[in-house]
Amino acid sequence: MLTKLYTKLISRLQSKKGQTLVEYGLILALVAIVVIAVLTLLGNQLKNIFNEITSALSTS
């Protein structure tokens, strides 16, 4: 009886660990998608800003 309880407890803990891992993976994927979208939308503006900084530093 104690062995059955122990086995059920272990299986539940393992499934929750797997579930947590999947949740973290989904969050990471969502963050990556947002970062890629933002960089795609603002890419040219960032490029222009860095070009202005580079030219300002090279003329000094």
| 17, pLDDT greater than 80 | no
Distance CA 27, CA 19 (A): 12
The pTM of the whole model exceeds 0.75: no
The pLDDT-based confidence of 13 (bands split at 50, 70, 90) is low
Phi, psi of 42 (to 5 degrees): -105, 10
Q: Tell me: pLDDT of 5 over 80.
A: no
